[in-house]
Amino acid sequence: MKKLTYLTAIILFVFNLSSCSSDDDSPEKGINSLLTGKSWAAQSKIITPSVVVSGFEVTDLMFLESEEVRKYSYKYNDDGTIFQYDISKKLIFQTTWTINSDETQITFKEPILFTYPIVGEIGITTFTVESISSSKMIATIPASYDGVDYLLTITFM
């Protein structure tokens, strides 16, 4: 009888562990709903390998941007449009976006432009989504300049 009680307790314990999950409260969201669920702003733009500008080694390209550019935000919409806003929430650019079938690459119809010292204007047309949650997205962009291969990793919050 004692063995039966222990066996029953073990079975109930295992059943309770398998039936209770934090995932039950919040079903996994698809990348479209995560992208369109908020406005995104770049928190860092890490370049590997680093670059030297005016004698200073730069790893985060945001160091080279004006305060206004650092405050740009991006709003992805369900209809496939993306809006870029300045610090005062004024619309400064818009284009359309698509995502590939395995939901790893976002492509923009018109490039999103950034201007940097020495290099000049850079247009981003595609980036790879490395990870995304409802509060953070990490994207990468490979680039070559002057015979050097770079990887730009942008963290959006």
pLDDT digits (tens, 9 = 90+) for 126-148: 999 999 999 999 999 998 888 99
Distance from C-alpha of 147 to C-alpha of 144, rounded to nearest angstrom: 6
Inside any domain, residue 131: yes
Kindly state the tokens that stand for 147.
Answer: 């015979």
E strand map for 5-90? 39-40, 42-53, 56-60, 73-76, 81-85
The reply to whether 20 falls in a domain is no
**Is residue 19 a part of any domain in this protein?**
no
What is residue 49's three-state secondary structure? Answer: strand
Domain of 81? Answer: 29-156
User: Token match 């004692």: residue?
Assistant: 2
Residue 107: CATH number of its domain: 2.40.128
In a domain, 36, yes or no: yes
Q: Is residue 12 part of a domain?
A: no
pLDDT tens digits for range 32-83: 999 999 999 999 999 999 988 889 999 999 988 888 888 999 999 999 999 9
pLDDT tops 60 at residue 2: no
User: How many Cα atoms are found within 13 Å in the side-chain-facing hemisphere of 18?
Assistant: 6
Asked whether residue 57 is domain-assigned, the answer is yes
Note the pTM of the prediction, 2 decimals. 0.77
pLDDT tens digits along 83-127: 999 999 999 999 999 999 999 999 999 999 877 766 678 889 999
**How many domains are contained in the chain?**
1
The answer for 118, left when phi > 0, alpha when psi is -120 to 50, beta otherwise, is: left
